[in-house]
Copies of this chain bind each other. A is one copy, B any other.
Amino acid sequence: MTSARTQPTQPDRTTHPTLAIVGVTGAVGQEFLRVLDQRSFPMGGLKLLASARSAGKTAEFRGKTLTIEELTEDSFAGVDIALFSAGGSISKKYAQAAIDAGAVVVDNSSAFRMTDGVPLVVPEVNADAITAANIGLGEGQVPGVIANPNCSTIIMLLAVTPIHRAVGVKRLVVSTYQAASGAGAAAMAELEQQTREVLEGRQPTCDIFPQQYAFNLFSHNSPVQPNGYNQEELKMVHETHKIWGEQGDNKTGITATCIRVPVMRAHAESINLTLDKPLSEDEAHKLLADAPGVSLIDDRENNRFPTPLDASHVDDVFVGRIRHDLSQPEGYGLDLFVCGDQVRKGAALNAVQIAELLVK
């Protein structure tokens, strides 16, 4: 009894895991701290990791000052869940070290998303993919990687999955309006700097993007593949198929055009659906009103629909412009306009929700 009282209680990793954040100085890394705090994530400890350049800097969390440590292969001793958001090459280099130390890796990069056996998870859509892969902290479960999908995919699937589950989406045409944050904090700073420069009649500084971004827009900067699609667009196609569990001829037809617009941190998407079975506007409205993680702004009379500013710093994805598509038989076509915070639901929040699934 006495010894039990004097010994500190070992925190149970299944209820109060020790977390590591890899890439804590980035836009998503910083958002991790806010989201974990706001959601009162139960944790036994928190380790902040970044490149050697940031080691020794500090960050505030729940009233405590934490020192950022340099990421090395030895960083993960005692870590139960490692939230990675430092780019694909860092994930590829260090994920195995985290797993070897017994941690579950929740990875924001694209490094492992399409890898067989790696669950690609939007908690509102396919939480069961984690169970199927048996990755977790519990009895009999194993360490491994759970991948966080691309931001544009997550935001789209929050809105489209309820409709897909109800009546089946046969074909999907999406055009995106993507914010600077998707290219990181430096891109947001460049957009701001360029805007100041243009307003002052000066030549805009183009360090991150090769083209002027202020008061302009351009096709997404990810590499263009031989089929003419850029990688961002193909992520939306292939990740959706994986998340929806579609294979072979069973796959929903998807085409995407991804465009960067001079907006700071929330993406918008114009989505056109061809449906297997008919769905009325009212039914679509009800499905989306009831959908987890979705809020409606769909006020035709006042011409008030979702905007990136509505979605910024907010958990939910906003949906509006829900209307029957005039170009398709009544009930079989639907247009939607969706806005979601790229940094939050598109990245940090979704990853923390995955971590919450591991704790539950």
A residues apposed to B, CB below 8 Å = 171-173, 175, 177, 192, 195-196, 199, 210-212, 215-219, 221, 223-224, 227-230, 237, 253-255, 257, 259, 261-264, 268, 270, 272, 281, 300-301, 303, 305, 307-309, 320-328, 333, 335, 337
State the oligomeric state as a number of copies.
2
Given A228-B322, A230-B303, 13 additional A-B pairs, CB 8 A? A177-B261, A212-B307, A215-B264, A217-B261, A219-B305, A227-B323, A228-B281, A228-B323, A228-B335, A255-B333, A255-B335, A257-B272, A262-B263
| CA of A301 to CA of B303, assembled, Å | 41
A229 touches B326 (CB 8 A): yes
A212 touches B322 (CB 8 A): no
B270 touches A321 (CB 8 A): no
- What is the predominant secondary structure among interface residues of chain A facing chain B? mixed
| CA of A308 to CA of B216, assembled, Å | 6
B272 touches A173 (CB 8 A): yes
| CA of A131 to CA of B229, assembled, Å | 43
Question: Cβ of A224: which chain B residues have Cβ within 8 Å of it?
Answer: 300-301, 303
A158 → chain B, closest Cβ, in Å? 18
| CA of A253 to CA of B320, assembled, Å | 22
In this complex, what residue of B is CB-closest to A333?
B255
| CA of A323 to CA of B237, assembled, Å | 15
A272 → chain B, closest Cβ, in Å? 5
A305 touches B253 (CB 8 A): no
